[in-house]
């Protein structure tokens, strides 16, 4: 039976073509596009543009999680994201995700029209967050992070990064199930760049099958991240090609089913081509008996 990801009023069937989650940062200080879409109207227009480019989900965030980023109050975060969620809920015909660790921000955004909570703390930063997820029926992205955005890159240490990340995510699945959150509502994120060195990131990417083996869709967020710049010698604005390469490799291996990206159009084209090539490998297609998708 195909896996599903149940997100409030939406249900995704997880198949060979990954979902594309477009990033809408309503922040002054995100590492890649901070300040560009701080105005709600600009953020809404950007979200609509990403939807037109082929995004399956829009992920709206009002607090930067770049290394060393200062904390933002719940009131300030709500002031940034709530009008954007409400505006896109009226105008964009696709599910909305809110990128937050705060239960009240998540709750208000759910009632404004969001369907997914993307929590970089794995629903641990706010004790009320699991209750919000359970009460609203939201889908949730549960991420691994060592430390907090303020401290995570100071000196991340692991004995076995793959085993520890996969073990943490498995434990979170069980803990959330115990408080009424179905595994069908959960998508897992290994947290590339969140409390990991370059070698940790590469090791995780090479062994994402350990996370995929937990039986839930895997969300991969590598878009424009520092490790790509380190390896390729590129500034954030010039990391689209490297970001696309990493996401496509993971998708081709079947170890990432949701790709969280800034560059939606290019990623959408890549997953369309990947799905078409994979389809052509089927014996009935190769024999010429099926000519239509």
For residue range 240-265, list pLDDT tens digits in order: 999 999 999 999 999 999 999 999 99
pLDDT at 260: 98
pLDDT at 293: 46
Alpha-carbon span 274 to 81, nearest angstrom = 33
Catalytic residue among 8, 102, 172, 225: 225
Return the CATH number at 51.
3.20.20.20
Residue 231: how many CB atoms within 10 A of its CB? 14
Q: What is the mean pLDDT of residues 44-52?
A: 98
* The total number of structural domains that make up the chain: 1
Q: What is the pLDDT of residues 143-179, one digit of tens each?
A: 999 977 777 788 889 999 999 999 999 999 999 999 9
pLDDT at 2 over 60: yes
Alpha-carbon span 198 to 164, nearest angstrom = 16
Q: What is the mean pLDDT of residues 108-112?
A: 98
Q: Is residue 292 part of a domain?
A: no
Alpha-carbon span 59 to 106, nearest angstrom = 12
pLDDT at 9: 87
Q: What is the mean pLDDT of residues 7-17?
A: 92
Q: Is residue 73 part of a domain?
A: yes
Mean pLDDT of the chain: 92
Q: Is residue 178 part of a domain?
A: yes
Alpha-carbon span 276 to 285, nearest angstrom = 11
The answer to which of 57-71, 119-133, 196-210 has the lowest mean pLDDT is 57-71
pLDDT at 1 over 60: no
Q: How far is CA 175 from the centre of its chain?
A: 21
pLDDT at 34 over 70: no
Alpha-carbon span 196 to 213, nearest angstrom = 21
Q: Is residue 293 part of a domain?
A: no
User: What's this model's pTM, rounded to 2 decimal places?
Assistant: 0.93
Q: Is residue 287 part of a domain?
A: no
Q: Which two tokens stand for residue 274?
A: 């990947």
Q: Is residue 217 part of a domain?
A: yes
Range(s) of the domain holding residue 32: 4-281
Q: Is residue 253 part of a domain?
A: yes
Contact present, 236 and 262 (Cβ < 8 Å): no
Q: What is the pLDDT of residues 195-241, one digit of tens each?
A: 999 999 999 999 999 999 999 999 999 999 999 999 999 999 999 99
3-state SS assignment for residue 261: strand
Count of residues for the chain?
A: 293
Q: Is 8 noted as a catalytic residue in this protein?
A: no
Q: Is residue 288 part of a domain?
A: no
Q: What is the mean pLDDT of residues 109-115?
A: 98
Catalytic residue among 224, 239, 260, 268: 260
What is the percent of the chain with per-residue pLDDT over 90, rounded to a whole number? 82
Q: Is 260 noted as a catalytic residue in this protein?
A: yes
Residue 4: pLDDT band with limits 50, 70, 90: very high
pLDDT at 175: 98
pLDDT at 287 over 70: no
pLDDT at 204: 98
């Amino acid at each position: 039976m195909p896996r599903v990801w149940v997100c409030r009023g939406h249900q995704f069937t997880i198949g060979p073509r990954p979902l594309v989650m477009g990033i809408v940062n309503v922040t002054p200080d995100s590492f890649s596009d901070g300040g560009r879409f701080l105005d709600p109207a600009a953020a809404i227009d950007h979200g609509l543009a990403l939807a037109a480019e082929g995004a399956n989900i829009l992920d709206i965030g009002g607090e930067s999680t770049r290394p060393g980023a200062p904390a933002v109050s719940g009131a300030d975060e709500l002031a940034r994201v709530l009008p954007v969620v409400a505006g896109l809920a009226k105008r964009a015909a696709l599910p909305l995700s809110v990128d937050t660790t705060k239960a009240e921000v998540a709750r208000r955004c759910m009632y404004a029209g969001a369907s997914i909570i993307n929590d970089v703390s794995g629903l641990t930063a706010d004790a009320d967050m699991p209750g919000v997820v359970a009460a609203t029926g939201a889908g949730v992205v549960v991420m691994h992070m060592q430390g907090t955005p303020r401290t995570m890159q100071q000196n991340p240490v692991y004995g076995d990064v793959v085993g520890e990340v996969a073990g943490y995510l498995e434990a979170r699945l069980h803990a959330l199930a115990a408080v009424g959150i179905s595994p069908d509502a959960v998508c897992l994120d290994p947290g590339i760049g969140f409390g990991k060195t370059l070698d940790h990131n590469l090791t995780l990417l090479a062994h994402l099958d350990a996370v995929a083996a937990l039986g839930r869709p895997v969300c991969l967020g590598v878009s424009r991240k520092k490790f790509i710049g380190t390896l390729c010698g590129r500034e954030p604005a010039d990391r689209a090609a490297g970001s696309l390469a990493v996401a496509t490799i993971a998708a081709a291996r079947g170890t990432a089913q949701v790709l969280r990206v800034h560059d939606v159009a290019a990623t959408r084209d890549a997953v369309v081509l990947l799905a078409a090539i994979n389809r052509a490998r089927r014996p009935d297609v190769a024999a010429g008996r099926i000519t239509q998708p």
